[in-house]
Structure 1
Amino acid sequence: MEMQAVETARRWLAEQGVRQVLGGWVSDEKPDVLLTANQVAHSWAGGVFAEDLDAADQVRLAFGLLDLLDEYWVTCEIRFAEGPLPADALWDGYRQRLEADRDVEAVTYSLWVDWFEDHTTSATAFAEVLGNDIDRVVAAPSEALLRRACRVLECSGPVPWSVKEPIYRTAVRLPTLHPALFRGLRASFHDVYGDLEPAAALALLDTLELPMDTQHRAELRQVLAAGHKNHYRSPGAWDDAVRSCS
């Protein structure tokens, strides 16, 4: 499915006069100028949503372009698209790539800074990429589902605590997810828009089965026990914890 999406995107770019060559990309307009994938994304990705296709096919084509170029900007163009995007195509696109056995940094970065930091979209996005499926992940985990769950948990810092706490509490039943849960809790404290409730987060932290030498576990426990909600609201609290735990 993914390879088909890539080839569809490659054909579409070729129709725009853009083709891949050794070391980068070139356009028919300037065949002597070597372009990076990022330049291709900035110049052509938005054009996907001007194509005479239904909205779902536009979204699928855009995700194919993301697979081909591996550039975060493609996800920006997906968000910038005019009108409501079809939810099935949009979130299926994210879920499939979160489950892929390869690096998906552009996808997780998009979730983190675009969908999760925006409180008008964070609850829906978190539900679509993990919350709606967490019971299935815990009851019948597959490698693909675990990859998706771990990736979402790790970048879930900005998701409102009231939204993610029930999902965290379900996820804690599966020890395989504990390291990702820990990183999610740590991000909930450290991210600029991170959100947590210290007492509830501390109680959750204390249920996690982690190696004794897990980096920053003691420091996170100390700041939560002291009632701190966020690194940026309590300047110096983390440094104090580092000093006292060293």
Structure 2
Amino acid sequence: MPGTLLRVSATDIDLALRYLADVGITPIGPNRWRWDDTPPEEMSDEDVAFHTAFEITTDEDLAGVQRVHTALGLLDLTGAFEVLIHLNAYVLNNPDQEVANAFWAGFRDRMAVPKPIEHLRLHLTTFWFWRHTTTKTAFDALLGDDVRRLAADGHLPELATGSLHLRARHVLEDSGSVDWDDKRDVYQAAATVAELRPAVFRALLGSYHAVYGSLDPAEALTMLESLHLPADTEHLPQLHAVLRNGVANHYKDPAAWHP
């Protein structure tokens, strides 16, 4: 399957399967579908997504939230980037807050598994966490709001295990391009949870190496030292050195990073 599927997404999958069945598309095996067209045709996951993702997000017979859930089910079934392209466009152009809420809830669920759908993580890093107009919205919805709430309530240890830990780990690792001012406090809070310190390190590493990575060298250095990572952690000496020298991004001074 494209990624680890959740029990809570079974309803989304059912919606997608019903939609596909209504247009004559049924699963016949891994990455194999039958389309009862004239003549009948066998299709791959990518083929199915290509032929139905846009139709699902523009189907006026489906309520707005139902379009989101059906598209998310199609994503679970196919793992195709095509689904994310059309679902993303639909959500961005829809003023209904319930549509946005369903979208982010679906993304949170799908990031809270051991192995999220590969194209979902790629989509986050190349779109939502990449554009300055969307990074704060996406980061807060996927992790920031929850971490700040837990910090205010004194419940940060809840980030140490379970599905919330998995989501936090994945989102942190993918958040290098999020503006530093929008993620600093979340990184700092996560750094107090021992089980998340490796993820915070990878978040700092990504913040330095991503083309549009964002960090403040002095603040990031203080945070890095607070992690108390093993001395043999890969890339730890190099990251420590560039931050100590005040370099904020690899692409601003590539020669500063010494393998």
TM-score, with length taken from structure 2: 0.87
Distance 1:151 1:195 in 2: 18
1:3 maps onto 2:3 in alignment: no
- 1:115: Cα distance to partner? 0.5
- SS of the residue corresponding to residue 34 of structure 1 reads strand
Give the distance between the partners of 2:236 and 2:95, measured in 1 at CA.
41
Write the deviation string for residues 122-150 of structure 1: whole angstroms up to 9, x where unpaired: 10110010011014272423410000000
The alpha-carbon distance between structure 1 residues 217 and 55, as it changes in their structure 2 partners (threshold 3 A), is same
- 1:198-237, aligned counterparts within 5 Å? 198-237=217-256
Aligned to 1:67: 76
Structural RMSD (CA)? 1.7
Distance 1:220 1:21 in 2: 49
Paired residues of 2:79 and 2:119 also in contact (CA < 8 A): yes
* 1:26 to 2:34 alignment: yes
1:175 corresponds in structure 2 to: 194
Determine the structure 1 residue equivalent to 2:64: 55
**CA distance in 1: counterparts of 2:245 and 2:114, whole angstroms:** 39
Pairs within 5 Å for 1:84-99 = 84=95, 86-99=99-112
Moved more, 155-164 or 77-86: 77-86
Equivalent position amino acid for 1:45 in 2: A
Aligned-pair CA distance for 1:105: 2.0
Q: What is the Cα deviation at residue 4 of structure 1?
A: 2.2
**CA 1:30–1:151 in structure 2 vs 1: closer, same or farther (change >3 Å)?**
farther
Please give the alpha-carbon distance, in whole angstroms, between the structure 2 residues aligned to 1:43 and 1:84: 26
- Mapped partners of 1:105, 1:166: distance in 2: 27
Change in CA separation of 1:102 and 1:30 when aligned onto 2, cut-off 3 Å = farther
Match of 2:214 in 1: 195
Consecutive unaligned residues in structure 1, runs of 5 or more: none
SS at match of 2:34: strand
Cα deviation, residue 101, structure 1: 4.1
Shift of 1:214: 1.1
- Contact 2:110 / 2:116 at 8 angstroms: preserved in 1? no
Identity rate, percent: 36
Which residue type is aligned with residue 21 of structure 1? I
> Alignment partner of 1:200: what SS?
helix
Whole-angstrom CA distance in 2 between matches of 1:223 and 1:154: 19
Deviation at 1:26, TM superposition (A): 2.9
Aligned counterpart in structure 1 of residue 51 of structure 2, from 43, 63, 76: 43
Pair 1:129 & 2:142 matched: yes
1:181-219 CA deviation, whole Å, 9 max, x = no partner? 011111111111111111111111111132322111111
Aligned amino acid, residue 69 of structure 1? T
Task: State the SS of the aligned residue for 1:87.
Answer: helix
Greater relative contact order structure (CA < 8 Å, 6+ sep):
2
Matched, 1:116 2:129: yes
Work out the number of aligned pairs and report it.
Answer: 240
Does structure 2 conserve the Cα–Cα contact (< 8 Å) formed by 1:156 and 1:184?
yes
Name the CA distance, whole Å, in 1 between partners of 2:62 and 2:40.
32
Distance in 1 (alpha carbons) for counterparts of 2:9 and 2:27: 18
Match of 2:3 in 1: none
8 Å CA contact 1:175, 1:209 repeated in 2 = no
CA shift, 1:15, in A, is: 1.1
Q: TM-score, normalised by structure 1?
A: 0.91
Between the aligned partners of 2:168 and 2:214, the Cα distance in structure 1 is 19
Counterpart in the other structure of 2:5: none
- Determine which of 80, 87, 94 is the counterpart of 1:83: 94
Code of the residue aligned with 1:13 in structure 2: it is L
